[in-house]
């Protein structure tokens, strides 16, 4: 028929059912990644934890001299009948620093990696065995356990110096996915806990106000610096409900950052702001996340290296 545009063929609509969704998830988990990505994450995460351990040497000193009666073991520390002697605490400190340095540079990683991950698990269990769980240490412990049993030194590592650069492979991609899943799950659990324990009262301004006031008062009374924005926020109750909602959105929305790249970038920025906010109002700062290290598994970190090398060239 001249003069008429051919009718557009309409394909039957393709419904995405559970089977297609499962296949999509399986493909996402099996996406190959460069060995360099996993190697750079090894360097960043192991390096951060090693520096953190060194910077918190005073904690080893404190626990080496804390009275035994205060020992309340959790995690791996339940294997102990009594606290470690001060000598063993310091031996453990030296071992962890050594393993951390070797893991960071990727030397004999097949042995060092698992040892460092398990060593940090032992330390964080012991560190939390004195009446207070130190949740800020949980995520990097999980990350090191995943990294420790992954081929994370096949690139950007001492172990990899004399071997040809490996091609992209799912054996590098899958551990990166697991690291990212661990990151977003910890945020999601935190948001879920707020809904479970507080419910809609979380959006009541008094809820967040009391949390901020409690943290600021604790610091002031125990002897420390005042959070810079605590009073400003407490004096302005109209700020509190939006802040509470925004914080909850960051936490519960974290898993969506795995699904869409653009949302991922927004979420990463929001998460950093969230941590800066808790630092400024409550002097609560989960450094591993707030400094971005714990968020790196969501990013193609090897591109930063490529960009740097391109700029230098």
Residues 183-212 that bind another protein (CB under 8 A): 185-186, 189-190, 192-194, 196-198, 201, 206-207, 209-212
Q: Taking the complex as a whole, how short is the minimal distance between the CB of residue 182 and another protein, in angstroms?
A: 6
Does 213 interact with another protein (rule: CB under 8 A)? yes
- Using CB under 8 A, which of the segments 7-15, 46-54, 182-190, 256-264 binds another protein? 182-190
Q: Taking the complex as a whole, how short is the minimal distance between the CB of residue 312 and another protein, in angstroms?
A: 37
Does 142 interact with another protein (rule: CB under 8 A)? yes
Beta carbon nearer to another protein, 236 or 303: 236
Q: Which of residues 60-119 bind another protein (CB under 8 A)?
A: 62, 65-67, 69-70, 74-76
- Residue of the chain from 220, 228, 306, 307 that contacts another protein (CB under 8 A): 220
Q: Taking the complex as a whole, how short is the minimal distance between the CB of residue 155 and another protein, in angstroms?
A: 21
- Using CB under 8 A, which of the segments 36-44, 57-65, 95-103, 287-295 binds another protein? 57-65
Beta carbon nearer to another protein, 135 or 303: 135
HEC string of the chain equals CCCCCCCCCCCCCCCCCHHHHHHHHHHHHCCCECHHHHHHHHHHHHHHHHHHHHHCHHHHHHHHHCCHHHCCCCHHHHHCCCCCCHHHHHHHHHHHHHHHHHHHHCCCHHHHHHHHHHHHHHHHHHHCCCCCCCHHHHHHHHHHHHHHCCCCCCCCCHHHCCCCCCCCEHHHHHHHHHHHHHHHHHHHHHHHHHHHHCHHHHHCHHHHHHHHHHHHHHHHHHCCCCCCCHHHHHCCHHHHHHHHHHHHHHHHCHHHHHCCHHHHHHHHHHHHHHHHHHHHHHCCCCHHHHCCHHHHHHCCCHHHHHHHHHHHC
Beta carbon nearer to another protein, 287 or 300: 287
């Amino acid at each position: 028929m001249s003069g008429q545009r051919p009718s557009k063929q309409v394909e039957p609509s393709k419904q995405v059912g559970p089977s297609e969704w499962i296949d999509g998830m399986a493909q996402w988990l099996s996406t190959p990644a460069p060995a360099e990505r996993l190697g750079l994450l090894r360097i960043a995460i192991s390096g951060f934890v090693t520096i953190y351990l060194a910077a918190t040497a005073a904690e080893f000193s404190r626990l080496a001299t804390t009275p035994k009666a205060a020992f309340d073991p959790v995690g791996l520390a339940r294997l102990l009948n009594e606290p470690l002697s001060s000598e063993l605490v310091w031996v453990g400190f030296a071992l962890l620093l050594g393993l951390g340095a070797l893991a960071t540079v990727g030397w004999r990683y097949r042995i060092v990696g698992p040892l460092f991950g398990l060593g940090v698990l032992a330390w964080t269990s012991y560190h939390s065995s004195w009446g207070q769980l130190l949740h800020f240490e949980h995520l990097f412990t999980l990350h090191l356990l995943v990294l420790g049993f992954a081929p994370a030194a096949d690139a950007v590592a001492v172990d990899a110096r004399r071997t040809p650069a490996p091609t992209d492979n799912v054996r590098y991609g899958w551990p990166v996915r697991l690291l990212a899943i661990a990151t977003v799950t910890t945020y999601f659990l935190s948001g879920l806990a707020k809904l479970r324990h507080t419910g809609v009262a979380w959006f009541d301004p008094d809820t967040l106000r009391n949390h901020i006031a409690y943290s600021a008062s604790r610091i002031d009374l125990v002897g420390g610096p005042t959070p810079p924005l605590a009073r400003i926020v407490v004096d302005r109750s109209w700020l509190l409900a939006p802040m509470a909602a925004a914080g909850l959105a960051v936490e519960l929305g974290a898993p969506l950052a795995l699904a869409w790249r653009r949302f991922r970038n927004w979420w990463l920025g929001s998460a950093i702001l969230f941590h800066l906010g808790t630092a400024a109002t409550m002097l609560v700062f989960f450094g591993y996340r707030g400094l971005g290290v714990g968020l790196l598994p969501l990013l193609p970190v090897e591109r930063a290296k490529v960009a740097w090398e391109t700029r230098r060239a």
